[in-house]
Structure 1
Amino acid sequence: MIYKGSMMVDFFVEWFKRQVLPALKTPHVIVMDNASFHPKNILDELCIQNRHFFLPLQPYSPEMNPIEQVWKEIRKRGFKNKAFQTLEAVIDKLQEVIQGLEKKRYKVHCQQTMGKVGF
């Protein structure tokens, strides 16, 4: 899903309830940064109700956020010192790089984060 515009708490919570939670069939640890539209109390309660564990990251800790490590790898593989002529070319390259990432790399990034927070 691509969302254009300012993200609001209500929209994010609805998306989380309707898209994220139904997609998770087994218990998961859900890691989120401290974006203003990530209401910790609401997300924690929703996770508990659905047998998941909500792990909010400490402020200003990108090294603890697995997605930051994935973005770093994406930039390295497809965007280092590169200029694109169109937005469509950027999107095409992004899709190509993401599809080329191995699932095990995602798992490694998540495991590294879990180790850093003591799981």
Structure 2
Amino acid sequence: MVFFFDESRFGLHPSIGRCWARKGVRISAPVNPNYQNCYVYSGVSPFTGDAFSLFLPWVNTEMMNLYLAEMSAAFPDKEIMLIWDQAGWHKSNSLKVPDNIVLKSLPPYSPELNPVEKLWQWLKKHVCRNRLFAYVDDLMNTLAETLINLTPTRFMELCQGSYLLQ
């Protein structure tokens, strides 16, 4: 199985987007002044629509090891090629890679080659924009519910790039 992997930060400070309003009416939006956040670690196969995500408190080697162990356990009988960027914690000497996972790196500074970036854009635009979450748990529950309800076909639509088919 081929998975592309990335992590993204989601926080309580909302992303404000455009909306319709009557001419001359000034729009206001409530803002949560807290800067609490969580990180979503996701691996997506744009070819099959399989996905595996975890919510973790930080991005570091320890959390990356946890993700790799959980992904390996979720697909115990599968050989997984995990393609990811070259973040520092992806190249750490203390990274523990399970036997059924092979790691491959994307070229440096090329997020446009990682299809999971499209998933983050979609989540931030369609799930988080113009929404106020009082607590990080509310945000995580909303994101988790959305990810759970995405079908393999929808993951493929969101994450498949034409360059992957060539």
Q: Of the two structures, which has the highest relative contact order with CA contacts closer than 8 Å and spacing of 6 or more?
A: 2
> What is the aligned-residue RMSD (CA, Å)?
3.3
Q: Following superposition of structure 1 onto structure 2, how do residues 39-118 of structure 1 map, counting pairs within 5 Å?
A: 39=91, 46=97, 50=100, 53-109=102-158, 111-112=160-161, 115=164
More deviation, 17-26/85-94: 17-26
**Residue from 59, 64, 69 that aligns with 1:18:** 69
TM-score, normalised relative to structure 1:
0.65
1:30–1:55 Cα contact (<8 Å) kept: yes
Q: CA 1:53/1:92 → structure 2, altered by over 3 Å: closer, same or farther?
A: closer
Q: Deviations over 1:52-84 (max 9, x none)?
A: 543211222222122211111212221122222
TM-score, normalised relative to structure 2:
0.50
Query: Unaligned 5+ residue runs, structure 1?
Result: none
User: Is residue 2:76 matched to residue 1:27?
Assistant: no
Instruction: Provide the rounded CA distance (Å) in 2 between the counterparts of 1:98 and 1:91.
Output: 10
Percent identity among equivalent residues?
A: 23
Which has the greater radius of gyration? 2
Structure 1 or 2: more helix by fraction: 1
1:77–1:97 Cα contact (<8 Å) kept: no
